[in-house]
Amino acid sequence: MNKPNQISPPRWSLKFFRWFCHPDYAEDIEGDLFERFEKRTIENRAAKWLFTLDVLKLFRPGIIKPITGSQKLNNYDMFKNYFKIGLRNIRRHKTFSSLNIAGLSVGIASCILILIYVNNELSYDTYNSNYETTYRVIHYYGQQGEAPDYTSLPTNEYQVWGNAPVAPAMQQFFPEIDKVFRFTSDASWLFSYNSITYSESDVLFADSTAFDIFDWKVIAGNPKTALERPNTVVLTPRLAEKYFGSENPMGKSIIMDNQDPFEVTGVVEVPTNSHFSFNGLISMSTFRNSRPQIFDSWGYVDFYTYFTLKPGTSIEQVQEKVPEFLEANFPNDFNYHIKFEPLSDAYLHSEAGRQPGPVGSMGSIYIFTSVALFILLIACINFMNLSTAQSVERAKEVAIRKTIGSHREALIYQFLVEAILVTFIASILAAVFVIFGHSLLETISGKTLPIDWLFTPQNALLALGGILFIGIAAGSYPAFALSTFKPVTVLKGSFKTSSKGIWLRKSLVILQFSLSIILLAGAAVVSSQLDYLQKYDLGFDSEQMLAVDFGYDDLVQQKREFIKQEFLKHKDVEIVSVSRAVPGDFFPNAGTGVADPVSGEIVYKGPAIYEVDEDFIPAYKMNMVAGRNFSDDFPLDSANALILNESAARLFGYPNPADIIGKSFRQWGREGKVVGVVEDFNYVSLHEDVEPLSLRFGTRFNVSTISVKLKSDDFSKTIAELENIWQGIVPHRPFDTRFVDQNFNAQYESDERFGMIFTTFSGLAIFVACLGLFGLTIYSTSQRNKEIGVRKVMGASITQIIALLSRDFLTLFIIALAISVPLSWYVMNSWLDGFAYRISLGVEVYAVSALITLLVAFITMSFKTVNAALSNPIESLRDE
């Protein structure tokens, strides 16, 4: 067609045209294209570009060739017809459609709700712009005589709680560090404004660099100066509204602990996904003015230290210089080391002790993600099973459509469109479930779970893709299986499904049974462990023990003996004790020296410390295993007596508690003798073993809690009467009370919430699985309809018929049990490893779980098997 030396049109454009153009029109259109091109080459240099443009304009409906002889890519009417038929089938088969939609909607909604929770757990601290470059210092406080290899020392030997001077020393020593920030452990303060007075917890001292490290939302105040001056305080919106209502709090004064006025210099809001939170921040300069000596003490522990790196530097550069830093700054009188933990590890990955707030668990994240996938997988399996169950009814439909010329591809498209349509309807219903279930999930989890991130264009595309994926994945097997039916076989009435299809369905049922047993056994293990924690003998009695927190109030401490005596006069009070902390409370560690059992020299260790009075051990019914308790008969006990627990005695080298009695000790400015050893009791969570503990007499300024043992049946009345006594003695201080057992059990709140979430979604997963089992029961009874009729005519009883229909499922259940038990044991045993005191995984857990699963399965199947067994055999044996 082209002459020599003549310019030719673009080759790739011509190939593209010949590829897509309908053969009936290709020759004529191509001739026209060449004619226009030749005219343009005479006077237009852009002829090739114009040729390509003409080809692209021709790529439109009506000209594109069909993919097959009966289908066209652009056939809108074809897909419209698919949707019409799909909607008709959904309406016609109401039972199956309802089961499909219910199963998918519950599965999708459960999956989304779990992902909302998981996304929130993974989002902790990511609101900070310095998230990737922020680290915190973790500290190792070793025992005397140790020579550990710090390079291989595990993180769980360190703690986040540390000293004050490490922060400025690091700022000066490391040029890689940009900003350093410290805050103290939380404390209770008395807030007074006009006539309003409350005791507020979670109030921290904080450096003025707080806002350089953390991107908290500043509602009022200047973040650069808010925490610079002494006697200034920054409040959260809740406290600002509590004391000032609609007034502007800026510049107003709050009286703290009935002493000094503190100026409100800011209002900030801490995101809910922060690994620590607070109600108020007091300037660190306030703390420095009151106790300047501790800011130079490397042994005084009450601070958390965070820092950011300068651009272009790495944490490895800083860590390499740590030995040099400690040698230059640290007075080497005991084993001490530091290393650095990324902010990204603080919530989910930290193993260090003494965290500033609650921590999450990657194990829980993995478990919940698995449950979400399990539920979605079970829902998709249900879809396959229920669609397969319809195959008997739809076999003739497929056969007739094939007979009148319908291609297999068209049938596949038809069934896939139906599956996607069902998935779309289920997704709409799932969205409704998510909206209503979100608030319930927040209540169960005890967390604020934002969902605004769901409503983004990216997630809208993901949702559309998810609907298509689930629809195609769930509908693929029914589509391809139903489209292979042979019309002649079906219309003759001798239609049977293939053995491959039977084994696939059986495999899916085994998978459903396995997942159900795993989830049910997991829920049983979680419930049993939580029950075990509640009933475990802690080594002390906290029942009906009321704790009154007075926050180290000086006036209360002056009158503590008088308060004790007045409380004891009440008929419903058994005993009263005063202490620094009670089991479940925050406590410090104390550098404590005790005479070595061999050399007699004082050897220092770092046990925890309780400061108590002579009534503390009797009040909590603790057992003395050696020596004696503090006593009024020994007036010098307040200055030179120490009691240890069994673990502390072993720590100092005395496996026999009696051998340590009378040994010399030194602790926090006191010297004297060890007078007693108390039996180990669990003063911390059962996640941990009993740690070494020292108990010394708590003098004025060192106690903050009054424990009151009640013997009343009417707690409200008794507490009200005790409050009247309190107000008569120290009217300036609110009567802030809590029950010790409830306070101690609050340590397991996250475990209990984990259990509730896990059990709830496990129940939903089993419910969805039952829908699929019901569908497969319908399918199997439909396939064996005539067999059931023949057996009934031959004299089979209803019981025999039900047993016949259930026998196959029992075999599948046994196979599933063999698969699920080892998997469940491994997962739940790993979860239980997080508890120092735990249940043992016995056979009874899996026996009960298997029995419940089997019982639920038989109840589910009975709705159809009993109906089939009671049916009239004439109906099934009638020749059609």
Residue 1 is predicted with a pLDDT of: 46
pLDDT at residue number 681: 95
- Token pair 């779990």 is at which residue? 114
DSSP state of 654: -
Instruction: Please say if the pLDDT value at position 496 is more than 60.
Output: no
Strands 670-678 and 641-645: parallel
pLDDT top residue among 274 and 196: 274
The rounded distance, in Å, linking the Cα atoms of 815 and 514 is 8
Q: What is the mean pLDDT of residues 138-167?
A: 85
Q: Report the candidate in 588, 684, 550, 578 with the shortest Cα–Cα distance to residue 188.
A: 550
Residue of higher predicted confidence among 696 and 404: 696
646 near 738, Cβ under 8 Å? no
Q: Is the pLDDT of residue 430 over 60?
A: yes
What pLDDT does residue 797 have? 73
Q: Which residues pair with 611 in a beta bridge?
A: 696
Q: In the predicted model, what is the mean pLDDT of residues 120-133?
A: 95
Check: CB of residue 707 under 8 Å from CB of residue 620. yes
Strands 608-612 and 693-697: parallel
Binned at pLDDT 50, 70 and 90, residue 3 comes out as: very low
Could you tell me the pTM of the whole model?
0.80
- At residue 380's C-alpha, the angle toward residues 377 and 385, to 5°, is 125
The Cβ-side half-sphere exposure at 37, using a 13 Å CA radius, reads 23
| Band of residue 4 on the pLDDT scale cut at 50, 70, 90 | very low
Stretch among 298-307, 324-333, 660-669, 783-792 having the lowest mean pLDDT: 783-792
At 718-758, the pLDDT tens digits run 999 999 999 999 998 999 999 998 888 888 888 888 888 88
Residues 6+ apart with CB under 8 A from 67: 73
φ and ψ at 768, to 5 degrees?
Answer: -65, -40
Residue 242, H or E segment: helix 237-244
Token pair for 560:
């503590």
Helix (H) or strand (E) run with residue 608 in it:
strand 608-612
Lowest average pLDDT, out of 33-37, 145-149, 420-424, goes to: 145-149
Comparing 55 with 193, the larger pLDDT belongs to 193
pLDDT at 219: 96
Which among 276-285, 519-528, 870-879 has the top mean pLDDT?
A: 276-285
Query: 793: helix, coil or strand?
Result: helix
pLDDT in tens, 49-75: 788 888 888 877 778 776 554 444 445
Q: State residue 520's pLDDT score.
A: 85
How is residue 464 written in tokens? 């559309």
Contact 124, 275 (CB under 8 A): yes
| Domain ranges for the chain | 11-58, 76-122+362-493, 131-345, 498-537+744-880, 551-735
The contacts of residue 27 (CB under 8 Å, 6+ apart) are: none
Q: Mean pLDDT across the chain, nearest whole number?
A: 86
CA 706 to chain centre: 35
DSSP notation for 106-129: HHHHHHHHHHHHHHHHHTTTTT-T
Q: State yes or no: pLDDT of 5 exceeds 80.
A: no
838 has pLDDT over 80: yes
The two tokens of residue 20 are: 């897509």
Calculate the alpha carbon distances from 680 to 677, 684, 764 in Å. Answer: 9, 11, 43
Residue 187 has pLDDT above 90, yes or no: no
Return the bridge partners of 200, or none: 189
- Poorest-confidence range of 209-213, 378-382, 609-613? 378-382
The residue count of the chain comes to: 880
Task: Show Cβ contacts of residue 870 under 8 Å, excluding neighbours closer than 6 positions.
Answer: 798
With cut-offs at 50, 70 and 90, classify the pLDDT of residue 485: low
Dihedral angle, C-alpha 504, 510, 513, 518, nearest 10 °: -120
Q: Are 437 and 113 in contact (CB under 8 A)?
A: yes
Residues 668-684 have pLDDT tens digits of: 889 999 999 999 999 98
DSSP string, 715-756: HHHHHHHHHHHHHHH-TTS---EEEHHHHHHGGGHHHHHHHH
- Strand pairing partners for 307? 135, 180
Q: What's the pLDDT score for residue 70?
A: 43
C-alpha to C-alpha distances, 413 to 78, 323, 420, nearest whole angstrom: 10, 69, 10
- Percentage of the chain surpassing pLDDT 90? 44
Q: CA 217, 222, 228, 232 torsion: positive or negative? A: negative
* Band of residue 167 on the pLDDT scale cut at 50, 70, 90: very high
Residue whose token pair is 């153009």: 21
pLDDT band with cut points at 50, 70 and 90 for residue 260: confident
Q: How far apart, in Å, are the Cα atoms of 44 and each of 11, 37, 51, 667?
A: 19, 10, 11, 100
Q: Which residue blocks in 536-591 are alpha helix, DSSP H?
A: 554-558, 560-568
Quick one: average pLDDT of 792-821?
78
Grade residue 783 by pLDDT with cuts at 50, 70 and 90.
low
The mean per-residue pLDDT over the stretch 329-353 comes to: 88
The residue with greater pLDDT, 471 or 632, is 632
Give the distance between the most distant pair of CA atoms in the chain: 125
* Of the candidates 263, 246, 242, the residue with the CA atom closest to the CA atom of residue 254: 263
Q: Give the separation between CA 26 and CA 822, rounded to whole angstroms.
A: 65
Q: Is the pLDDT of residue 19 over 70?
A: yes
Distance CA 382, CA 98 (A): 12
Distance CA 412, CA 407 (A): 9
* Residue bearing the bigger pLDDT, 112 or 772: 112
pLDDT at 546: 95
- What is the β-pairing status of strands 705-710 and 624-627? unpaired
φ and ψ of 693, to 5 deg = -140, 135
pLDDT band (50, 70, 90) for residue 864: low
Contact 171, 310 (CB under 8 A): no
